[in-house]
Structure 1
Amino acid sequence: RRCAGSLRLLTCRLWFILTRAYKKVEEDDLKFPLIYGEGKKARVMATIGVTRGLGDHDLKVFSSNIHIKPFLSCFPEVRVYDLTQYEHCPDDVLVLGTDGLWDVTNDKEVAGVVMEVLMSYEPNDPCRYTMVAQELVVRSRGVLKERGWRLANDKLGSGDDISVFVIPLGGPGNYT
């Protein structure tokens, strides 16, 4: 009799744990501010950076009993764009970069660097795309000065990891 009660309790707890992990976020769940801070200091429920929490099912908000899992998902949002439907110029590129690039560099600055570097290489030089990526990383990191890493405008350089991919869209004949 005691064993059956324990089994029932275990079954109830297991059901609660399994259903809680896939809970749909309701309006009442949002009483606690969802995002605290800005930029690199932003944290989900003042506890964890979003990318750090994607597998931590038991993580709770600091000093509370609120589980963070309902607010994070390991399923990415995917968008597919058919780039073949557009006509591309030989120097059209797609720049993929981590937040280490985008935190300190805007679209216009990236486009300027892309044009500047591509114009300084021969059109058929395959290294020119690598050099664009390298230049974007170097400019986003900045230069080490007395007060830390600084950009050309004396603002703080990126303190985050910086990864950049420059992918030519002009077709295989344009970068072989």
Structure 2
Amino acid sequence: MAGMCCGVNIGEAETAAPVEPSSKSSRRRRLLDIHQFKFTTTDKAVATPMESGGTRKRQKMEEVVPASSLRDCADGVHSCEVKEIEKRLIDDDVPEEKGPETKSFDLKASTSETQLDVVVPECPKYGMTSVCGRRRDMEDAVAIRPSFSDRSFNLRGGIHLFGVYDGHGCSHVATRCKDRMHEIVRNEIGSGRGASWEQMMSESFSKMDKDVIEWSTASETGDEDPGSVCRCELKTPQTEAVGSTAVVAIVTPDKIIVSNCGDSRAVLCRKGVAIPLSVDHKPDRPDELKRINESGGRVIYWDGARVLGVLAMSRAIGDNYLKPYVISEPEVTVTERTAEDECLILASDGLWDVVSNETACGVALKCLQSCKPRSPPRSPGSDITFTAEGESSDKACSDASILLTKLALARHSADNVSVVVVDLRSGQ
């Protein structure tokens, strides 16, 4: 019976002699035998691989399947090949007891580790500037602790701490807060008591206050080395008249927790709008004035409102001689992060005394929007001196903090100026 092959008539007496396939063709056919697949378009057209024994010419794949399907199919073939190789390695080559020679075949472990690296976000970009300004002594301290706790609530993201501490009387309480606050907060998070953020931060500030008093006492009696010689230890043996403000921001993948004690401040820039995340603790604030009066203290106006005519803030860490009028209890705010969040600014009152929240946000956003792409950290030889814990991780954030500091000095700020700018934009 006559037949057709490639459009040519073949008689009954004519038979095609078997041809030994070449090695390249043979390998291709074996691969197709292993990976059976088909391509389907929206028109229900189907292209099947050529059977190993047939001689019918294959149609061009571009005529049957669109380019996008070709890409997907190529990925599918690659995936099938990988799975087939993994199966052969596991079934044939891997011995029952794993040894050093089989370490590279632990494919599942390496895959999960790679996925974990992909989903864990890095610390937000930040920049910090801290200058003495027109003051005789530098009493500010800044702490930046990326991924400071290994016991975060969500394994898909770390938690990061940013703190600004504005000392008064001397610098050693602010320095102590910089060195110890993150450790105390980390212990509270890892305590396993399941407390709220408000409770954990309040307890952390209380423990920080006690730690400062005990450390100061031990340093005065010689039981503990203070670590550095500061001005008050050279001139006066008593350090109870020393304290510090504290504004601490903890940034998680979905929240911003701000704890404030004193007149340093945290401001969130969201969609171009300045949102204060803390309220300054001034002695003439109505609720603070009432609390001081009820505890037996007085607010005296001497170059501004002051507790007992001395301290120009109603809450602080340290200042043991002004207790119970001056307390260390922080006010805590918990803010849900959104896709519209742009940056977070933490600063001492050296900035906020002369620069409004709106102006600070406008300056920071201009810097963040004008510096693209992101640049590596500023080199150690730059013209701005950063503290060891607060060096910049991004030029745009660094430029924002520098510009805000220069703006405060240009407006004749008479205090130390410390500024931290954290980039919260998604996709950074």
TM range (shorter): 0.5 to 0.7
Structure 1 residues 170 and 102, CA, compared in 2 at 3 Å: closer, same or farther?
same
Correspondence for 2:301 among 20, 33, 36 = 36
Distance in structure 2 (CA, Å) of the matches to 1:44 and 1:115: 37
Correspondence for 2:418 among 159, 163, 167 = 163
User: What residue number does 2:363 align with?
Assistant: 113
Indicate yes or no: 2:325 matched with 1:71: yes
2:314–2:325 contact (8 Å) kept in structure 1 = no
Report the alpha carbon displacement of residue 76 of structure 1 after superposing the two structures with TM.
Answer: 2.0
Indicate yes or no: 2:403 matched with 1:132: no
Return the TM-score normalized by structure 2: 0.25
Structure 1 residues 55 and 161, CA, compared in 2 at 3 Å: closer, same or farther?
same
Which amino acid letter does the alignment assign opposite residue 159 of structure 1? A
Indicate yes or no: 2:309 matched with 1:46: yes
Return the TM-score normalized by structure 1: 0.56
Which amino acid letter does the alignment assign opposite residue 420 of structure 2? F
**Which whole-Å deviations, capped at 9, do the CAs of 1:82-106 have from their partners, x for residues lacking one?**
22xx2226xx111111101100001
2:295–2:324 contact (8 Å) kept in structure 1 = no
Of structures 1 and 2, the larger Rg is shown by: 2
Correspondence for 1:94 among 328, 339, 344 = 344
Higher helix share: 1
Structure 1 residues 76 and 135, CA, compared in 2 at 3 Å: closer, same or farther?
same
Which amino acid letter does the alignment assign opposite residue 414 of structure 2? G
Which amino acid letter does the alignment assign opposite residue 55 of structure 1? G
2:319–2:326 contact (8 Å) kept in structure 1 = no
Report the alpha carbon displacement of residue 54 of structure 1 after superposing the two structures with TM.
Answer: 4.2
Distance in structure 1 (CA, Å) of the matches to 2:327 and 2:315: 12
Counting matched residue pairs gives 120
Report the alpha carbon displacement of residue 114 of structure 1 after superposing the two structures with TM.
Answer: 1.7
2:295–2:325 contact (8 Å) kept in structure 1 = no
Structure 1 residues 25 and 136, CA, compared in 2 at 3 Å: closer, same or farther?
closer
Distance in structure 2 (CA, Å) of the matches to 1:163 and 1:48: 20
Report the alpha carbon displacement of residue 56 of structure 1 after superposing the two structures with TM.
Answer: 3.9
> SS of the residue aligned with 2:332?
coil
> SS of the residue aligned with 2:324?
helix
Q: CA RMSD in A?
A: 2.8
Higher strand share: 2
Unpaired segments ≥5 residues, structure 1 = 1-23, 60-67, 143-150, 152-156
Distance in structure 1 (CA, Å) of the matches to 2:397 and 2:333: 24
User: What residue number does 2:85 align with?
Assistant: none
> SS of the residue aligned with 2:414?
coil
Which amino acid letter does the alignment assign opposite residue 140 of structure 1? A
**Which whole-Å deviations, capped at 9, do the CAs of 1:24-57 have from their partners, x for residues lacking one?**
8664836x4x25246xx44212023448974343
**Which whole-Å deviations, capped at 9, do the CAs of 1:56-82 have from their partners, x for residues lacking one?**
43x3xxxxxxxx312111222222222
Unpaired segments ≥5 residues, structure 2 = 1-290, 376-393
2:344–2:424 contact (8 Å) kept in structure 1 = yes
Structure 1 residues 44 and 104, CA, compared in 2 at 3 Å: closer, same or farther?
same
Distance in structure 1 (CA, Å) of the matches to 2:308 and 2:372: 50
Report the alpha carbon displacement of residue 163 of structure 1 after superposing the two structures with TM.
Answer: 0.8
Structure 1 residues 28 and 44, CA, compared in 2 at 3 Å: closer, same or farther?
closer
Distance in structure 2 (CA, Å) of the matches to 1:53 and 1:111: 26
> SS of the residue aligned with 2:420?
strand
Distance in structure 2 (CA, Å) of the matches to 1:136 and 1:78: 25
> SS of the residue aligned with 1:80?
strand
Indicate yes or no: 2:336 matched with 1:82: yes
Which amino acid letter does the alignment assign opposite residue 308 of structure 2? M
**Which whole-Å deviations, capped at 9, do the CAs of 1:9-34 have from their partners, x for residues lacking one?**
xxxxxxxxxxxxxxx8664836x4x2
